[in-house]
Structure 1
Amino acid sequence: MTKKPILKIHPTPLDRCIDGISFLLLLTLLGTTFYYYNQLPETIPTHFNASGQPDAFGAKSSIFLFTGIAVFIYVLLLVFKDKPHLYNYPTTITEENALEHYSKATKMMRFLNLATILIFFYLQYQTIQTALGTSEGLGSYFTVIILLVSLLPLLFLLPTKKKQITSK
């Protein structure tokens, strides 16, 4: 097994913007949770089925577990975003191609973090709204939207792989 080069990838203005939006969205998630907590009934939805309808309920304090998971995933992705030499790649990483692959991989991780926080924010907000009686669930297109948002970060790697295949 060859050792991958370790490089420091400097963020572009777009990278900083994505990181900033992710952080602000995380703060909004935290703020929303604390703002609505006292208004919530003692029992709130804790799970939704594939149609977006609540199908399990629990104590209102469970809202903090969900928020904690979101914060944990955010921090985990934030830490590993700066360690692209630990990722698996479909090609061999060399000194010559490391910067290109690492830059795209860290950008993908940034978008993955943004997509994850966006999904958690939406789930949390809809859980709160459903508990307060202003919404009846996640909505009928929730599953499709989540799949699309989750797969979006992968689009950053596809053009690179396609270019390599066609150039052989």
Structure 2
Amino acid sequence: MTSKQNKHPFAVAFFSLLSALLAGHAIYHYFILPDQVATHFGFSGNPDAWGPKTVFFLWYVIITGLCIVMFIVVNRLLRPGRLSWLNIPNKEYWLAPERIHDTLHYVRNGMLLFGSGNLLFVLDFINQSFQVSLGHASKLDHPLTTLAMYLLFCVLWVSALYRRFGRKK
């Protein structure tokens, strides 16, 4: 495998930047939020439950940490000889020795970009929640837009995988 095929600097940089941004976002807001924060919101975006910020941040760190670790581990597991769990269309064709490195490069990039999309989704919802807890908003600003954008991103990501691997070249 050439070094060019093994690198995906944009995907790594973007995922790393978002991971650091989430950590900085959490640390910054931990010190400025009140002791009681909005912990649950109804369909309309209005807060309907409040709780201690320490518990909220514990869950925030656990959820984002697991998301970050999961995408890093999956990316590391994408190696020749360890792909029985990988499920892509036309798997035998795309994992043939002459195509496996290009295939894995594409999938690794895609996984990191998908992870970045997940982190952006979490960051936007959490930031909206923080604005309510800080008194800058009375309800979530755009929860349905955030959800719709995330679902569109997921559909486009899956479509790109099927477009790439759905047929043999």
Pairwise TM-score range, normalised by the shorter structure:
0.7 to 0.9
**In structure 2, how many angstroms separate the alpha carbons of the residues matched to 1:90 and 1:152?**
16
Further displaced range: 155-164 or 54-63: 155-164
Residues 48 and 56 in structure 1, CA contact (< 8 A), matched pair in contact too: yes
| Aligned partner letter, 1:31 | G
Aligned length: 157
Between 126-135 and 48-57, the greater mean CA deviation after superposition = 48-57
Larger CA deviation: 152-161 vs 35-44: 152-161
Distance 1:104 1:38 in 2: 40
Query: Identity of aligned pairs, percent?
Result: 22
What secondary structure is seen at the aligned counterpart in 1 of 2:40? Answer: strand
Matched, 1:10 2:6: yes
Q: Which residue does 2:96 correspond to in 1?
A: 94
Other structure's SS at 1:137 match:
coil
Of 57, 65, 74, the residue aligned with 1:63 is 57
The alignment yields a C-alpha RMSD, in angstroms, of: 2.5
- CA drift of 1:144 comes to 0.8
Matched, 1:150 2:143: no
Contact 1:44 1:59 in 2 (8 A): yes
| 1:5 alignment partner in structure 2 | none
Shift of 1:163: 4.0
- Give yes or no for contact 1:53–1:138 (8 Å, CA) kept in 2: no
Q: Which one of 110, 119, 122 corresponds to residue 120 of structure 1?
A: 122
Name structure 1 gaps, 5 residues minimum: 1-7
Which ranges of 4 or more aligned residues in structure 1 deviate by more than 6 Å? none
How much has 1:131 moved relative to structure 2?
Answer: 0.5
